[in-house]
């Protein structure tokens, strides 16, 4: 079964501390993995995708096929990073179907 698991509902850190949002997935084949973010009173928006291997707003995520994980990391959290983060997966190509995790609320305290 295709599934995305985000084990933490809430992650609270202080400004300047490292952040790691966990994501594990279950998928037979070669999935595409994404992180979406929703800031307060804003729409869901794409943060990054594994195939581009990019760093957005200081966040990075590495796909670990052996551990079926796609954890989101940032070395120094900022208050403006406070938001809801969703990990999602899809089959290769434009299948139109994203499978989301339950989301993790990141709270960065001053």
Partner 1 sequence: DAGVTQSPTHLIKTRGQQVTLRCSPKSGHDTVSWYQQALGQGPQFIFQYYEEEERQRGNFPDRFSGHQFPNYSSELNVNALLLGDSALYLCASSLTGAGNYGYTFGSGTRLTVV
Nearest approach, Cβ of residue 6 and partner 1 (Å): 8
Which positions from 7 to 46 touch partner 1 by CB under 8 A, shown as an x/- string?
Answer: --x----------------------x-x--------xxxx
Q: Is 100 in the site for partner 1 (CB under 8 A)?
A: yes
> How far is residue 1's CA from residue 101's CA, in Å, rounded to a whole number?
14
Residue 59 CB partners (closer than 8 Å, separation 6+): 35, 47, 48, 72, 73, 74
Nearest approach, Cβ of residue 66 and partner 1 (Å): 23
From residue 66, alpha-carbon distances to 24, 38, 44, 89, 108 in Å are 11, 29, 29, 16, 31
How many residues appear in the chain? 110
Q: How many chain residues touch partner 1 (CB under 8 A)?
A: 25
Q: Is 99 in the site for partner 1 (CB under 8 A)?
A: yes
**Cβ atoms of residues 25 and 100 within 8 Å:** no
Which of 52, 69, 71, 83 is close enough to bind partner 1 by CB under 8 A? 52
Residues that bind partner 1 (CB under 8 A): 4, 6, 9, 32, 34, 43-46, 49, 52, 86, 88, 90, 93-103
């Amino acid at each position: 079964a295709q599934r995305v698991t985000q084990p933490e509902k809430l992650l609270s850190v202080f400004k300047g501390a490292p952040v790691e949002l966990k994501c594990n997935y279950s998928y037979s084949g070669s999935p595409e993995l994404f992180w979406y973010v929703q800031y307060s009173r804003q729409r869901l928006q794409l943060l990054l995708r594994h195939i581009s291997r990019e760093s957005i707003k200081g966040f990075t995520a590495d796909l670990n096929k052996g551990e079926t994980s796609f954890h989101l990391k940032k070395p120094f959290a900022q208050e403006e990073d406070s938001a809801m983060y969703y990990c999602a997966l899809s089959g290769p190509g434009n299948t139109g179907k994203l499978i989301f995790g339950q989301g993790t609320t990141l709270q960065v305290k001053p």
